[in-house]
Amino acid sequence: MSAVRVVADTTICQGHQLCQGEAPDVFGFDADEDVVVVLDEHPDESRRKDVATAVKYCPAFALSIEEEGTT
């Protein structure tokens, strides 16, 4: 089973915060910087669907999921 790593590119994040609606336990928001903050870089497999939805619908394409090896 592979683990996932959530990555946010804060240089292109536009602060829409849609990701928080999908996975508020994984994505936060830095109001001072107006960018996403990854709260849980390695969320549980049970969160994969919500995280994938957040990545898919990010208007700025600032989020990604990386697969990390297999065990």
pLDDT at 69: 72
Length of the chain: 71
pTM score, two decimals? Answer: 0.89
pLDDT at 1: 44
The tens place of each residue's pLDDT in the chain, 71 residues long, gives: 468 899 999 999 999 999 999 999 999 999 999 999 999 999 999 999 999 999 999 999 999 999 887 55
**Collapsing DSSP states into helix, strand and coil, what is residue 63?**
strand
pLDDT at 3: 84
Cα 70 from chain centroid (whole Å):
21
Rounded to whole angstroms, how far apart are CA atoms 31 and 63?
18
Contacts of 43 (CB under 8 A, 6+ apart): 4, 6, 23, 25, 26, 51
Q: For residue 32, how many other CB atoms are within 10 A of its CB?
A: 6
